[in-house]
Structure 1
Amino acid sequence: MPNQTKKSHLILAVSAAAALAVGSILAGIRPQGWGLWTATANAAMGGHPTAPIDPSLVSSAESLSEAFQAVHHSIKNAVVNINIIKTLQGPMQNGIGPLNLPPGLQKMLPPGAFPLIPPQGQSAPAEKIYGTGSGLIISPKGYIVTNNHVVAGAQSIKVTLANGRVYKATVIGTDPKTDLAVVKINAPDLTYASFGNSHDMKVGDWVLAFGSPFGFKHTMTQGIISAKGRKNLDIIGAHNPQLQGLTYQDYIQTDAAINPGNSGGPLVNMKGHVIGINCAIATNTGSFNGIGFAIPSKEVKYIAGQLIKHGKVVRGYLGVSIADVRHEQIHKVAETFGYKGHHGVLVEQVDPSTPAARAGLRRGDIIIAFDGKKIRSMNQLRDDVAMTHPGKKVTLGLFRNGKKLSLTFAVGTQPATLAQVEMGGENIPGQMAHSDSLGIAVTAVTHNLARSYHMAAPHGVLIKTVNPNGVAASVGIRPGDVILSVQGHRVNSPAEFVKALHQVNLTKGIRLSLRSPNGVERFVFVQKSH
């Protein structure tokens, strides 16, 4: 990254020098033959100029350009550049960061989380990096929203306004689960942004991205909304495994150019309203490849408000693992419980000693309403619960065993992190079974393995191998998963597993209950084609 930044600056310097040289020639010297470029001379040579463009043909394009310019004029003074200094607890490699980069970082690099070349004539100590990002002024009191990964761990934060004024900033609060943060400066006469409703935006709508890509301050790029509701990207969890399972992902995808340094800058609609905060890109090169992501404004407003008011975000908590019934595989699982609806969420696991467990929620329940509001998707329920104040009583509408019922209980407080569990255990010779129909081999669950999976006692069978071309692999079953039950019948040995398979019809489809190495349980619907 630093090399790329330096190269960009060199190209600009060469271009500027060339322009100065040409300017000197044109201003100070009149080359021989200058008279050849007169209208009379051109006419004598029989040539003709390029054809003029019919203004009616370009009026729409000019109107669009004027609209872009109007949005730029409206928002530009609310966008800031953020420069930080961080101290790394590790060696640098070619000046681009620590050697122990998280898995997948090269393919999902958060813009802004890279060191810039130190100021000319200075050399950065090996343990320090200079980072740049962007931010958005959201209050006349000097509150600025940005990304958590821009300011987290910074020893120094400086904010540069559009007019060139520079201020020291202090961190008001951070929320790693959404990758948002709020910092504050003490400055007079600030221009602050207005938020729009990200929910109302449609795929294909024009948007403009603002920020400081590669340190080039106050840059605007244009594009459209390419998609909405992007999730399962693991942008945050890849960099902080302790947050896996607790992050909030509902990104806007855009093809407006976003590059390292754009992080924390706004994504703006054609009314000049902020509908997202730029946060990440999908890339194989470390720079823009046509796919960028922004956090929706609805979430930004809520999180920023919580950070300004409390310095942190306190979220409601049920203590369940859930899956979206709209997904084809999950819908098939739900049908095995007798559910015929197309919306709602399936409860795949109820964690012990949680509000959900104490209220009597069970695995296999389907949540269809939350406090009187119909549940359409997993994201909706997750957000509704998170935005419920801990201690407040809520009512869940459920489908269980062919009937509808409700449970009323108090929401808990979401924990800060999830404990990560490493897979362990040993094989027991002679206790292996193969299922050619599923394409897997299983063995018994040992006491050591049960402890590492946070089981009270050994139960289920451990999947040792998975045929990559088999039925199990096609639905995401992996080695290391533990099969707890087959069509509701618990299995505690390879022999019981084989017996359970003989009692079901795989061509009609069966429901398997699985437990992952990190302790998360889920249902999978498996069906063998005729």
Structure 2
Amino acid sequence: MVSSAGFPDFTRVVSKTIHAVVNVKNFSKKYSNQFDPFDFFFGFPDDFGNNRERKPQRNDIPGLHGSGVILSPDGYIVTNNHVIKDAEKIEITLNDQRTYKAKLIGTDPSTDIALLKINEKNLPFIYFSDSNKVQVGEWVLAIGNPFDLNSTVTAGIISAKNRSLGILRGETQSSIESFFQTDAAVNPGNSGGALINTNGELIGINTAISSASGNFIGYSFAAPSNLVAKVIQDIKKYGTVQRAYLGVKGIDLSKTEYLKVYNQETHQNIKSQQGFLIGEVFEKSGADDAGLKKGDIIKSIDGKPIQNIADLSFIVGTKHPGDKIRVIIIRNKQKKIFNVILKDLQGRKKIRTKEEITPSELLGAVFDPLSKESKKDLGIDYGIKIKEIRTGRLSAIGLEEGDIILSINGIKMKNPNDVNKVLKKYSGDVTIKSIKENGQVYIAGFEMN
């Protein structure tokens, strides 16, 4: 539809979708003056590379707010993980000003996506669209709550696809970044809000802005709907994201500076071109089983060109363990085709049911018994230490590697198996008492489904 002035008329599509975008408020009592990777988009470091000083903030006022999108009439809501991170309570405000306490269903720091749920029926919602069909140059609308200004709508076009920005690497080593870039105005508070097409369909979740001032100056970035939908479906069905891995690392050939260093170190003369140069194949991975080798250049997967690392991470990121992909590579100037069966990080080739996933895995952590020395130093005779933390409930509430869990729901943790004993088949509120590495006692909770 075109207005009398010759510009698109978005009134119909806005009226169709605006009531499905909500305000998300994060109530947290966690003190923090740590650098957040998303500060990169809400204020760059100064010219000397130093991060501007931030005073510790107590976020129980609340201190954080963002946006969310209702995905179903029964109250499922998608937002960004960084919007609800460390939350003790999450409050949802609808467009008509009704407020609800939200339940955290699951998170995925690898894509910066979180799934919430409110207890309501017959809610307005937005359908997912196929983000693979989105074209550079098409009109889009961003709907959210910048600066806590509810139901703000801005318009722009898709400026680029498959942008990899590096903002999630501080959250997880298995980050998946393949953003839409748009010039629709997005500001702090828009995070987690909707990026929609002119049919009123959800094509992305607004995630970040690129700005030296902390406010919009021309570019914003959104996670594509196909990736978001896969994450949400996994969380709802399995309780966690069932992520597949190809099992390679290497060099994005669109990054000429990396390629130059690689050529110097290996005494090769690989030309800058589209594709992904394999620098290492992980043993017993799907790539290893199929016969991919160091030095191969991945040109396409399932018929889709691989132009950069964002293309590779997006395609594999939408797959499950056990899925088969067709990989075309260049080896010694010859094209070769491989059929690769993807695996998870533990080498499994199949999706696991909810019953097969332990509570420890849902929490996203590996635990060690607490050493006698640590017990003596702390003056306690119980506790377990977080040895490794991944995507899961503990990272979502602010726990980190090295933290010591004292109790879960008031039950003392004396060895790692106690976690599974307490939470196996448990449903309801979970309260975790822990000691941070700085000695601070930290109490936080979530709801177990």
What TM-score, normalized by structure 1, do the two folds share? 0.55
1:201 to 134, 137, 140: 134
Matches within 5 A, 1:335-350: 344-350=275-281
CA contact (8 A) 1:282 1:288 kept: yes
Q: Given the alignment of the two structures, is residue 192 of structure 1 paired with residue 134 of structure 2, yes or no? A: no
| 1:303 aligned partner, one-letter code | V
CA contact (8 A) 1:314 1:414 kept: no
Q: Equivalent residue of 2:320, what SS?
A: coil
Q: C-alpha distance in 2, partners of 1:297/1:162?
A: 22
Cα shift readout 1:447-466 (whole Å, capped 9, x = no counterpart): xxxxxxxxxxxxxxxxxxxx
Q: C-alpha distance in 2, partners of 1:300/1:397?
A: 26
Residues 255 and 318 (structure 1), Cα distance of their counterparts in 2 relative to 1, 3 Å cut: closer
TM superposition shift of 1:214 = 1.2
Residues 178 and 59 (structure 1), Cα distance of their counterparts in 2 relative to 1, 3 Å cut: closer
| 1:210 aligned partner, one-letter code | I
| 1:275 aligned partner, one-letter code | I
CA contact (8 A) 1:337 1:364 kept: no
Q: Given the alignment of the two structures, is residue 237 of structure 1 paired with residue 196 of structure 2, yes or no? A: no
1:79 to 21, 45, 60: 21
TM superposition shift of 1:368 = 4.0
Q: C-alpha distance in 2, partners of 1:59/1:373?
A: 40
Q: Which has the higher helix share?
A: 1
Q: Given the alignment of the two structures, is residue 60 of structure 1 paired with residue 1 of structure 2, yes or no? A: no
Q: Given the alignment of the two structures, is residue 298 of structure 1 paired with residue 230 of structure 2, yes or no? A: no
TM superposition shift of 1:354 = 3.4
Q: Given the alignment of the two structures, is residue 314 of structure 1 paired with residue 242 of structure 2, yes or no? A: yes
Q: C-alpha distance in 2, partners of 1:87/1:149?
A: 16
Residues 208 and 235 (structure 1), Cα distance of their counterparts in 2 relative to 1, 3 Å cut: same
TM superposition shift of 1:138 = 0.9
TM superposition shift of 1:153 = 2.1
Work out which structure has the larger RCO, using CA pairs closer than 8 Å and 6 or more positions apart in sequence: 2
Q: C-alpha distance in 1, partners of 2:87/2:69?
A: 18
Q: Given the alignment of the two structures, is residue 175 of structure 1 paired with residue 108 of structure 2, yes or no? A: yes
2:303 to 356, 359, 373: 373
- Matched length: 329
CA contact (8 A) 1:225 1:255 kept: yes
Who is 1:444 aligned against? Answer: none
Q: C-alpha distance in 2, partners of 1:408/1:268?
A: 35
Q: Equivalent residue of 1:74, what SS?
A: helix
TM superposition shift of 1:136 = 0.6
Cα shift readout 1:267-296 (whole Å, capped 9, x = no counterpart): 122222222111111122222222211112
CA contact (8 A) 1:148 1:179 kept: yes
Residues 220 and 154 (structure 1), Cα distance of their counterparts in 2 relative to 1, 3 Å cut: same
Who is 1:388 aligned against? Answer: 319
Residues 224 and 344 (structure 1), Cα distance of their counterparts in 2 relative to 1, 3 Å cut: closer
CA contact (8 A) 1:368 1:398 kept: yes
TM superposition shift of 1:182 = 1.0
| 2:28 aligned partner, one-letter code | K
Who is 2:77 aligned against? Answer: 144
Q: Which ranges in structure 2 are unaligned for 5 or more consecutive residues?
A: 44-55, 347-360, 365-449
TM superposition shift of 1:410 = 3.6
| 1:347 aligned partner, one-letter code | I
Q: Equivalent residue of 1:356, what SS?
A: helix
TM superposition shift of 1:87 = 2.2
CA contact (8 A) 2:38 2:208 kept: no
Matches within 5 A, 1:41-52: none
Q: Which has the higher strand share?
A: 2
Q: C-alpha distance in 1, partners of 2:136/2:328?
A: 32
CA contact (8 A) 2:71 2:77 kept: yes
| 1:60 aligned partner, one-letter code | S
Q: Equivalent residue of 1:298, what SS?
A: helix
Who is 1:412 aligned against? Answer: 343
Residues 328 and 100 (structure 1), Cα distance of their counterparts in 2 relative to 1, 3 Å cut: closer
Residues 126 and 380 (structure 1), Cα distance of their counterparts in 2 relative to 1, 3 Å cut: closer
Look at both structures and tell me which one has the larger radius of gyration over its CA atoms: 1
Residues 329 and 132 (structure 1), Cα distance of their counterparts in 2 relative to 1, 3 Å cut: closer
Residues 368 and 64 (structure 1), Cα distance of their counterparts in 2 relative to 1, 3 Å cut: closer
Structure 1 residues 206-215 or 217-226, which shifts more? 217-226
Q: C-alpha distance in 2, partners of 1:363/1:249?
A: 23
Residues 346 and 145 (structure 1), Cα distance of their counterparts in 2 relative to 1, 3 Å cut: same
1:224 to 157, 161, 164: 157
Who is 1:48 aligned against? Answer: none
Q: C-alpha distance in 2, partners of 1:345/1:279?
A: 26
| 1:192 aligned partner, one-letter code | F
Cα shift readout 1:104-127 (whole Å, capped 9, x = no counterpart): 6543239xxxxxxxxxxxxx9946
Q: Equivalent residue of 1:364, what SS?
A: coil
Residues 148 and 291 (structure 1), Cα distance of their counterparts in 2 relative to 1, 3 Å cut: same
Q: Equivalent residue of 1:248, what SS?
A: coil
Q: C-alpha distance in 1, partners of 2:160/2:195?
A: 14
CA contact (8 A) 2:281 2:292 kept: yes
CA contact (8 A) 2:21 2:67 kept: yes
CA contact (8 A) 2:100 2:118 kept: yes
Who is 1:361 aligned against? Answer: 292
CA contact (8 A) 1:135 1:264 kept: yes
TM superposition shift of 1:341 = 11
CA contact (8 A) 2:74 2:122 kept: no
Q: Which ranges in structure 1 are unaligned for 5 or more consecutive residues?
A: 1-57, 91-97, 111-123, 418-530
Q: C-alpha distance in 2, partners of 1:395/1:254?
A: 31
| 1:350 aligned partner, one-letter code | V
TM superposition shift of 1:356 = 3.0
Identity score, percent? 40
Q: Given the alignment of the two structures, is residue 101 of structure 1 paired with residue 32 of structure 2, yes or no? A: no
Q: C-alpha distance in 2, partners of 1:174/1:149?
A: 10
Q: Equivalent residue of 1:270, what SS?
A: coil
TM superposition shift of 1:83 = 1.4
Q: C-alpha distance in 1, partners of 2:274/2:189?
A: 40
CA contact (8 A) 2:40 2:167 kept: no
Q: Equivalent residue of 1:294, what SS?
A: strand
CA contact (8 A) 1:135 1:146 kept: yes
Q: Equivalent residue of 1:60, what SS?
A: coil
What TM-score, normalized by structure 2, do the two folds share? 0.64
Q: Equivalent residue of 2:28, what SS?
A: strand
CA contact (8 A) 1:81 1:135 kept: yes
Q: C-alpha distance in 1, partners of 2:140/2:339?
A: 43
